[in-house]
Amino acid sequence: MKEIKVYNVNLPLKVPFETSFGIQYSRNALIIEYSDVYNAYGESVTDDVPGYSYEDNITALHVIKDYLIEILKETLDPSEFVEKAKKIKGHNMAKSAIETMLWDLESKKKGISLKDLIGGEKEKIESGISIGILPMEKLIDTVKKSIDLGYKRIKLKIKPGWDIEVLREIRMNFGDIPLTVDANQAYEGKENKVLELDKFELLMIEQPLAENNMVGLSRIQKKLSTPICLDESIHSVKDAKTMLELDAGRIINLKIGRVGGLKESLEIVNFCGNNKIPLWCGGMLETGIGRAFNVILQSRMEFNMPGDTSPSDRYFEKDIIKKPFTMDKGYIEVPNGNGIGVEPDLEFIKKVGKIIFQQRL
């Protein structure tokens, strides 16, 4: 019997995560489970509040149950699903939740790992850490502990008024560490403030202006020696091509959910590889299910910078998979089992969540 379930699970964060969008205290996730001969899983990277994107858990559930389930009745092939889902405008995160589940299913049907199915080669990936806005003393302590743990790159969330002094303190305390900043679009209308960041010898400045302001991003990139990295601006390979054509950025942060799933992600990966664009993978505080897709995608050789994929215990006291992701000297192993190679802890999922949608196909 083919069946789809959507679980809503809530995991408190060990430390509140503050960005220019606001403060997040928990990961409120939608987990997709397909069951038949094989069980397959996906995760929506939406949350309660439409801050990072216009999508949230309510819109994602609506699109899944009212539109995407009908497409699943027609096909379980991930590529065909993507083509049929194009009739639904936008809602990439909802689409990605189903599409990634179908990739898990496809690789399990073939009896291979998802890593092998997408052409991954790495056995382990470099792990960077994304640190939210914290009081200065706590921030310095967190950076020190992160360096001691072996993280390969330190990323700080910034916003106007929480930037220059912060970077000055970090450089003064830690010297020439691999350091980046992420503005989450907070400097729109304050372009000159971005130029002040150039003196700190950062690896990149991530998404300083609004996602749709490619012209403005191009204008300040030409004035900066520091590369701009685009995150929210990249929803498709077409956007990546626009970035390259306008010189609106020189590095890409790829998030599977933001671009609608693995198929589009792989097109962006290929484009970056062919055009020598530095590439890394961002995160959305995913549980172990969403994290598995991020880790596996980064097994592709085109990912040549440490991403934001930290081990499970960076965020949660207990993850929803039986064998959480761990880090050793700054590296995370890529799962090699069939499909995404992780086993959900269904007993724990039912303890911290509930089924909010269930339907036979």
The helix/strand/coil state of 35 is: strand
Instruction: Decide if 326 contacts 295 (C-beta within 8 A).
Output: no
Instruction: Decide if 175 contacts 201 (C-beta within 8 A).
Output: no
- Tokens 């003064």 belong to 172
CB count in 10 Å sphere of residue 246:
15
Instruction: Decide if 68 contacts 100 (C-beta within 8 A).
Output: no
Give CA angle at 180 (174, 182), nearest 5°. Answer: 130
Quote the CA–CA distance of 267 and 264 in Å, as a whole number.
5
Quote the CA–CA distance of 45 and 255 in Å, as a whole number.
10
CB count in 10 Å sphere of residue 121:
10
Strand partners, 41: 33
CB count in 10 Å sphere of residue 37:
8
- Tokens 């706590």 belong to 138
**Which is nearest to 123 in space by CA: 332, 338, 337?**
332
Measure Cα distances from 163 to 130, 136, 211, 261, 293 in Å.
15, 11, 20, 33, 32
Quote the CA–CA distance of 156 and 134 in Å, as a whole number.
10
Known catalytic residues are: 157, 255
CB count in 10 Å sphere of residue 297:
27
Quote the CA–CA distance of 234 and 252 in Å, as a whole number.
8
